[in-house]
Amino acid sequence: MKLFVTDHRLVSSQYIMIKNSDQYLIDKTLEGDTSAFGELVDRYQNFVYTIAIRILKVSEEAEEVAQDSFIKAYDSLKTFRGDAKFSTWLYRIVYHKSLDRVKMNKRHRAYEINEEITDDSLNHIENGLEFMLSEERTGIIKRCISELPAEDAAIITLFYFEEQSVKEISKVTDLTEDNIKIKLYRSRKKLFSLLESYIKPEISDRNGKAI
């Protein structure tokens, strides 16, 4: 008597999902398949570079740090335990390597927060950011983020562009979740200081009235 029927399409779909997973590619890399790590590089190279350029502000240095980060990830892959997503583990590497480069260059940038920005204003920036992102108007946001201090730029990028949670950003940066919340709050205020002239017209146009 036949107890069950195997749905071959379901099995095939599950196999494809497993084969395309980060863990599968990690396992294949550890078995000596370097092409598998090449797939991981292809999968994450754009965002690894994005984190580096947000912090370093210089494309040549960001490219070097991105490359160094993948080399370190490859050399350290056997230490990856899977208690966090591979992307979080990888972003942690590039984040710290980028900050190390900043320290090496002794590049410090001061930025004053507009303390007159209220929590209500921050709600407006959230709405404005969501609208601008949904309309693919990321150029303005990226330009303003590039003006932020290194750590603030990285946290904002992870939160908005990679949609990392506070817990995941905490793992990337080695900062406590409470510290991330504080830094994210202050980083958003700094970003608003830069985006204010762009976002208010966007919201005004959308609602048909000025804020």
Asked if residue 73 belongs to a domain, the reply is yes
For CA atoms 121, 124, 130, 134, the dihedral sign is negative
Domain range for 194 is 119-207
Name, in order, each residue with C-beta under 8 angstroms of 170's C-beta and a sequence gap of 6 or more.
Answer: 176, 177, 179, 180
Q: Total structural domains in the chain? A: 2
d(Cα 153, Cα 146) in Å, to the nearest integer? 7
Residues 143 and 165 in one domain: yes
Per-residue model confidence as pLDDT tens digits over 23-32: 999 999 999 9
Give me the CATH number covering residue 152.
Answer: 1.10.10.10
Amino acid, res. 37: F
Write the burial class of residue 203 (CB in 10 Å: 0-12 exposed, 13-18 middle, 19+ buried).
Answer: middle
**Structural domain ending residue among the three candidates 70, 105, 140:** 105
> Whose structure tokens read 């994005």?
50
Residues 82 and 22 in one domain: yes
Residues 80 and 125 in one domain: no
Per-residue confidence band for 113, with pLDDT thresholds at 50, 70 and 90: very low
Residues 94 and 34 in one domain: yes
Per-residue model confidence as pLDDT tens digits over 13-26: 444 445 679 999 99
Per-residue model confidence as pLDDT tens digits over 131-169: 555 554 667 778 888 888 888 999 998 988 888 999 999
Residues 18 and 54 in one domain: yes
Residues 95 and 29 in one domain: yes
